[in-house]
Copies of this chain bind each other. A is one copy, B any other.
């Protein structure tokens, strides 16, 4: 909720959320057997990284919600099926999510969170003694409901695990919002701006996938030094 400066995250654990769709797609890809995901800021960076890593790697991501020209994969979780990506490294760039990951790179530990892996992420950090920050990527500097609701679901789990989550009011805000919206989270995701944008370009099915609480049992970890995200 607050525009966090990278130095605030230094030394802590950061959970980066871009639920519609980058985080969900990364979780899905790793659950379906991708070896690793390399997040980069731009399509140009992606092509340069592929030139360095070799033809075995795949290019994935979006601009304006659709596949980037010359890329192998778009940013839909439905595209990252086991037969397409098992054992492969994917260089990945999206409008907001990959920037959020790179914003967090001064943290000691960076995880990819979304609604599909709330439980896995909460378990992964519940007993980590460092401060835990939840970074909601949002869209063009505006808050996204679809990022805040998974954040609230994580806060709920962390409260139950005995963590103190009252450090700032944004944790309480998303927790209250989650408690109300979780009565029908698919409707809440569909009403979000990101959800409506997806429906408008014919990708409403992806919104339902992104709203499937705890459907992916992994907590992807971004190994900042290596520049790659793996299943943990």
Contacts and interface: CB of A to CB of B under 8 A. Distances in A.
B168 A193 contact: yes
Contacts of A146: 169
A214 interface: no
Given A1-B1, A176-B176, A169 B181 contact: no
Interface residues of A toward B: which range? 20 to 34
A69 interface: no
Nearest to A196: B166
B169 A173 contact: no
A1 B143 contact: yes
A176 B168 contact: no
Nearest to A166: B191
A148 B144 CA distance: 15
A129 interface: no
A185 to B, nearest CB: 11
A181 to B, nearest CB: 5
Q: Which of A168, A178, A188 has most chain B Cβ within 10 Å?
A: A168
Given A143-B168, A180-B180, 18 more contacts: A1-B142, A1-B143, A2-B143, A142-B170, A143-B173, A145-B169, A145-B172, A145-B173, A146-B169, A148-B173, A169-B192, A169-B194, A172-B188, A172-B192, A173-B177, A176-B181, A176-B188, A179-B180
A141 interface: yes
Copies in the complex: 2
Which 3 interchain pairs have the tightest Cβ spacing?
A176-B177, A145-B169, A180-B180
A1 B173 CA distance: 11
A154 to B, nearest CB: 15
Interface in A40-76: none
Nearest to A143: B1
A2 B194 CA distance: 16
Contact of A169 (B2, B144, B170, B176): B144
A109 to B, nearest CB: 23
